[in-house]
Chain A
Amino acid sequence: MNLVDKQLVKNKMGMRLIRNKLIKQLFLMATLFAIIILGTLLYRIFTQGIGYLDWEFFLSFASRFPEEAGIKAAIIGSLWLMAITAPISLILGVGTAIFLEEYASKNKWTRFIQMNISNLAGVPSIVFGLLGLTVFVRLLEMGRSIIAGGLTMSLLILPIIVVASQEAIRSVPNDQYEASFAMGATKWQTIRRVVLPAAIPGILTGGILALSRAIGETAPLLMIGALTFIAYLPENIWSGFTVMPIQIFNWTSRPQEEFHYVAAAGIIVLLVMLLIMNSIAVFIRNKFSKRY
């Protein structure tokens, strides 16, 4: 006796193939939905903003008049912020990752720390703003300065950089460690000459993606009290500052309609900046990543 009823199999075949095709369409639609929304958004922003995008826009400070408003202070502010955030978060993040992967013994404490780092990556950015306000602005009396903003942003992206760097370090094959240790290399020599060169593409990719998140963040900086309207450039790390997303947020909340177009122009600048940073990340990943 046959356990498999051939007739039944034949009858069901048609239905199975139809379902197979339907599912494919379903997933295609999910993808298209995202693409269409993105397309609409980009179209709207470009049609609104492109008219206001000229050299003047880059060279002017904020203004009460939409025609004279520019993004100079915000761009410079964002660059200052990155100049603080990038080195601090990369040094601390990569250092933490190296310690956790290479030195820390694997026990319940390191597992506990590991879990918390992963959780920190998911904490809402406003909470980091609150922390920055309490610790940097008030407790350490840094005021509403670039340094306070930069440190807050460093904390925000630190967990992301730690996790990305750990992944990169973990992907270095064991036989590479063995080869180095077997020749009498110390742990540090092995890390510096074998592990880091192999992990650097992954670390940089993660770092740049984290920084592009920082450059687009508004909430924590509003929380620590970054300015929304300034007509001067920051002089040093203790100066008040504004950044691109805050400037854009400020413009969109103005009643005059023209300012919405100015905001659109600002968004284009921000998007282009993000696109460039992400492209660099992709470039580094493809160009320098080692294949074993």
Chain B
Amino acid sequence: MLTVERNRPMASSISPIKDNSIYTVRNFNLWYGADHALNDICMDIPTNKVTAIIGPSGCGKSTYIKALNRMVELVPSVKMTGSIDYNGQNIFNPKFKVEELRTSVGMVFQKPNPFPKSIYENVVYGPKIHGIKKKQILDEVVEKSLKGAALWDEVKDRLHENAFGLSGGQQQRLCIARCLAIEPDVILMDEPTSALDPISTLKVEELVQSLKKEYSIVIVTHNMQQAARISDNTAFFLNGEVIEYNKTDQIFSNPTDKRTEDYITGRFG
């Protein structure tokens, strides 16, 4: 009886801490066609913390955070059940506007994807589509966002040059700045450093640390050391399920599930 309990603990930890949650996810299932990609996810995301999601390739981590801002709907043949509440509102409610959700939930992608425009135009893209036209405000947004993304000093003299002239790491920080420019509450990061060199990775990681004072951050990562370094809470995903979700130091020092232990000690994945 006890061994069974130990090998298959409840997907118990809906939330590792009793704290304000910005997201409440309950019994969330997602299929790509017939492929059951996410299975009964129950997972809260706390406000102003860094939540890391780890797990082997194809376990549904990216799918999960793309569901949080409904970007996953861009994939045709996607089907979902269950609920995701953002600030107490169900994001799948037909009355809930997806554009509004994505305005307060920014996203940074795996591969830096700046627009083929100037650095300035990249940052003001978000404010502009939301109807902010005043040059003076836009200028301030650019400075604040680029400073927020620790890129200002490197690019302040060439704001009107094409963003494609930046290095990969700078492009990724530009994408973070572009995301900050709409002043979101949550930032979703989908393996933001997997295409970057170690030094750029370090800069992005430092950035995440400084951003969590103002933003709730969810970061998907392949890199377990990264999760251990920068996150407050960590969720381990496997085959579309949350195996374990707990405080990061707890997960890495004393995992309750055998599979989590196997994964973080590098026995598979």
Contacts and interface: CB of A to CB of B under 8 A. Distances in A.
Interface stretch (B148-156, B175-183, B199-207): B175-183
Interface in A174-221: 175-186, 189, 193-194, 197-198
B71 A181 contact: yes
A175 B109 contact: yes
A182 B74 CA distance: 11
B266 to A, nearest CB: 31
Contact of A179 (B101, B113, B128, B182): B113
A20 B49 CA distance: 66
B126 interface: yes
B71 A178 contact: yes
Contacts, number: 66
Nearest to A174: B74
B170 to A, nearest CB: 16
Interface in A42-93: none
Contacts of A197: 116
A254 interface: no
A292 interface: yes
A21 interface: no
B76 A185 contact: no
B127 to A, nearest CB: 9
Contacts of B111: 175
Contacts of B128: 193
Contacts of A105: 76
Contacts of B69: 182
B129 A176 contact: no
A217 B100 CA distance: 51
A106 interface: yes
Contact of B116 (A106, A184, A185, A292): A292
Interface majority SS on B: helix, strand, loop or mixed? helix
Given A183-B103, A184-B102, A186-B99, A178 B113 contact: yes
Interface string A160-183: 000000000000010111111111
Contact of B102 (A177, A183, A291): A183
A290 interface: yes
Contact of A198 (B103, B116, B182): B116
Contacts of B100: 184
Nearest to A290: B116
Nearest to A173: B113
A119 to B, nearest CB: 26
Contact of B126 (A173, A177, A184): A184
Given A176-B115, A182-B69, 16 more contacts: A106-B76, A177-B74, A178-B107, A179-B114, A179-B115, A181-B74, A181-B102, A182-B106, A182-B107, A183-B129, A183-B178, A184-B102, A193-B125, A193-B128, A197-B116, A198-B116
10 contacts: A178-B107, A178-B109, A179-B178, A180-B129, A182-B102, A182-B107, A182-B109, A184-B101, A184-B103, A194-B115
Interchain residue pairs A-B with the least CB separation, the first 8 = A184-B103, A175-B113, A184-B102, A182-B107, A183-B126, A290-B116, A184-B99, A179-B113
Interface of B: 69, 71, 74, 76, 99-103, 106-107, 109, 111, 113-116, 125-126, 128-130, 164, 175, 178-179, 182
Interface of A: 105-106, 173, 175-186, 189, 193-194, 197-198, 290-292
